Structure 1
Amino acid sequence: MEKLKFIDLFAGIGGIRLGFEDENTECVFSSEWDKFAQKTYEENFGEKPAGDITKIEAKDIPQHDILMAGFPCQPFSKIGKREGFKNATQGTLFFDVIRILDYHKPKAFLLENVSGILTIDNGKTIQTIMGALDEAGYNASYQVLNAADFGLPQNRRRVYFVGFLKELEVNFKYPVGDPYNRVPISSVLESNMDGYEISEHLQKSYLFKKDDGKPQIVDKNSDIQVNTLVATYHKIQRITGTFVRDGKTGLRLLSENECKALQGFPKDFKIPVSRTQMYRQFGNSVAVPVVKLIADEMKQNLRGAQNYSWSKQLTLHL
């Protein structure tokens, strides 16, 4: 079986690649501008991603079957009467996704972003995105999926965009999670962890300065899914943060292994950067099991479309 070739844009530490890559796929190009994320990516995949995608010509990117990108969310310009959707993305990093799709015409793409992108500018941003993908020649769709419905102990709602070249006539269906069979945070918590403590002074003066149920505190008895792990987790925010009842001061930050479990990364995934960078990287990454399920469906559709195409050609020749 010929391997499916893919590229990994805005790659971060490789979460989308982890969910997509298998023995029948090959990553032929990756791009990530952040030097710390590059270091983690190289440590785990044996290759250093190329830098700023805006400075890389489409012709210098290898031919590929699938484009994958966790593209950053930015506001787009207005769509003028004489302006196409592609032009409306100028000045945003999504434009680089479109220009590469336009040039290489891969069979399919998988994109990921925060669910808030659906409501930015009263829905005009998502209109621009879908319009640009349509103009590029793709049947595209999107779906918001919560990692908690797919076996991870974290509420993490993200929007996934999947598209196939229109000529392939693919009928893609997103995976369906199970909200009634969720994994509790207690199942992944470690005990007696040192080095992650939150000082008693910070607890009294900031975290528990109000009796409002904030922040979210979990322990071995917690039968819930925690708040979304964010890139600013290291700043110990009382409104959005989740902290563990454990350690020398009675309260600590999530450990490295706990962060991996929240995102579905394997325990042997290497973290060669500081703890601050580690939290940023996991907070910016993706829920690997969700990506894997989407990827499996995409691969099945692509192989089905390929078989159909061969069968069609054979029939025409006969």
Structure 2
Amino acid sequence: MKQLSLKLDDHLYEKLQTYTRDNGVSASSVLTDSLVAHLSRQKRSNAPQGNFTFIDLFAGIGGMRIAYSRQGGQCVFSSEWDKYAQKTYFDNFDEMPQGDITQVKSEDIPDHDILVAGFPCQPFSIAGVSKKNSMGRATGFQDKTQGTLFFDVCRIIEAKRPKAFMLENVKNLKSHDKGNTWKVIRESLDQLDYEVFAAVIDGQGFVPQHRERIFIVGFDRQRYGNFFDFSFDVDEDKPEKVPVLRDILQPVVDAKYTLTDKLWAYLQNYAAKHKAKGNGFGYGMPDFDGVTRTLSARYYKDGSEILINQGEGKNPRRLTPRECARLQGYPEDFKITVSDTRAYKQFGNSVVVPLVTSIAKLVVEKMNELDAAIEGDKKANIEIVKESKKSMKLGA
């Protein structure tokens, strides 16, 4: 943390004092927020033009931004409500995401080609929908999704009509709330007139981690029609050498990551108790030449899902935040500027970057292919009109 001396003229100082008093905030936070906002605007205005534009909703720490930027995309808007994730995002991209997306008007979001969102999974109420259906009245996504964060994804899609979108969620989305959540999502996206494709894909093969997530991709029917297919063929992008745990481990690790005797005894007793009951609950200590369990946001609590064996006579240890970053496929130059606890939560909530990069490539390729087909049809129609006019002149 650095300190900076700042001189203000009397009028500006009085305005600042009034604002901080009325809003219950410190002058330091106001000035910091103002500077961050200014730097973010400058970053956007100076950013080179990409081959396409995209927005990053429920952005977390920017894993999906990295993926789409690698395909030549330019991020024109981002949103993330968690202030610690915002800090990590800003420290890596020099851009502060806007906060609560529910408070952002659709018209204030820039036009974009692709919408990207890792939206939270919430249950939907179907009482009102069922009533309307029984009365023979049509329902739209607003009736079905109001009160959930998925509604905000839908309202932005409806208002901005991106060429395509990619959504990411937990693999159990289809079974969530007895299948109702998935039913509402599919129907809502269909009513918005998008051709939708979905697949559950494991990050294993890109990184040494078993991590299944559902990816939902859609393309605008009003622009492209629906006479096309989309394949989640990511296998060709997997590295030839299958990544294993030892690939991401640091050679020297601080002793603070080693479990205390008390915590290690607790985890062993907990595992033994559940094993006796025939349950599979317990800590995970993967082989160095294998893969880990799924890294979760609760990893900071005890690290039990992924423990690193340190040999006889020494308690196992947690992964370090940098090792968690590697486990999710983040580049080595990705900055970790928050506490270990916050970092564990952030990486546990994030995505497998190389997997999303592969899907992003497929989405962009399909979008370009569909755009080219439309352009080809336009040129063909122009030639037909020209030939028709030529024939009419000759006939005359």
Q: Normalised by the shorter chain, which TM-score bucket?
A: over 0.9
**Residues 22-78 of structure 1 deviation map (CA, whole Å, 9 limit, x = unaligned):** 373110000000000000000111100001000000000000000000000000111
Counting aligned pairs with the same residue, the percent is 41
1:153 and 2:182 matched? no
By how many angstroms is 1:121 displaced? 2.1
Tell me which residue corresponds to 1:189: 249
Contact 2:190 2:196 in 1 (8 A): yes
Of residues 298-307 and 40-49 in structure 1, the stretch that sits farther from structure 2 once superposed is: 298-307
Provide the C-alpha distance between the structure 2 equivalents of 1:131 and 1:75, rounded to a whole number of angstroms: 15
Provide the C-alpha distance between the structure 2 equivalents of 1:146 and 1:16, rounded to a whole number of angstroms: 16
**Residues 117-153 of structure 1 deviation map (CA, whole Å, 9 limit, x = unaligned):** 11012211101001100111100111000000x3210
Residue 262 of structure 2 aligns to a residue whose secondary structure is helix
Which TM-score applies when normalising by structure 1? 0.92
Provide the C-alpha distance between the structure 2 equivalents of 1:153 and 1:300, rounded to a whole number of angstroms: 27
Provide the C-alpha distance between the structure 1 equivalents of 2:322 and 2:303, rounded to a whole number of angstroms: 20
Contact 2:54 2:76 in 1 (8 A): yes
Contact 2:71 2:361 in 1 (8 A): no
1:73 and 2:134 matched? no
- The one-letter amino acid paired with 1:55 is Q
Tell me which residue corresponds to 2:231: 173
Tell me which residue corresponds to 1:162: 217
Contact 1:198 1:249 in 2 (8 A): no
By how many angstroms is 1:113 displaced? 0.2
By how many angstroms is 1:17 displaced? 0.7
Provide the C-alpha distance between the structure 1 equivalents of 2:183 and 2:84, rounded to a whole number of angstroms: 33
- The one-letter amino acid paired with 1:246 is Q
Match of 1:243 among 307, 328, 338: 307
Structure with the bigger percentage of helix: 2
Q: Which runs of 5+ in 1 are unaligned?
A: none
By how many angstroms is 1:181 displaced? 6.9
Counting matched residue pairs gives: 312
- The one-letter amino acid paired with 2:88 is T
Tell me which residue corresponds to 1:254: 319
Which TM-score applies when normalising by structure 2? 0.75
1:232 and 2:304 matched? no
Provide the C-alpha distance between the structure 1 equivalents of 2:149 and 2:118, rounded to a whole number of angstroms: 11
Equivalent residue runs for 1:1-318 within 5 Å: 3-22=51-70, 24-78=72-126, 79-80=129-130, 81=133, 82=137, 83-148=139-204, 150-166=205-221, 167-169=223-225, 170-177=228-235, 182-194=242-254, 195-204=256-265, 206-209=266-269, 210-211=271-272, 212=275, 214-218=282-286, 222-236=288-302, 238=304, 241-246=305-310, 249-318=314-383
Find the structure with the greater CA-based Rg.
2
Structure with the bigger percentage of strand: 1
Residue 285 of structure 2 aligns to a residue whose secondary structure is strand
**Residues 238-293 of structure 1 deviation map (CA, whole Å, 9 limit, x = unaligned):** 4xx11112399532110122111211001110011000000000000001111111
Residue 289 of structure 1 aligns to a residue whose secondary structure is helix
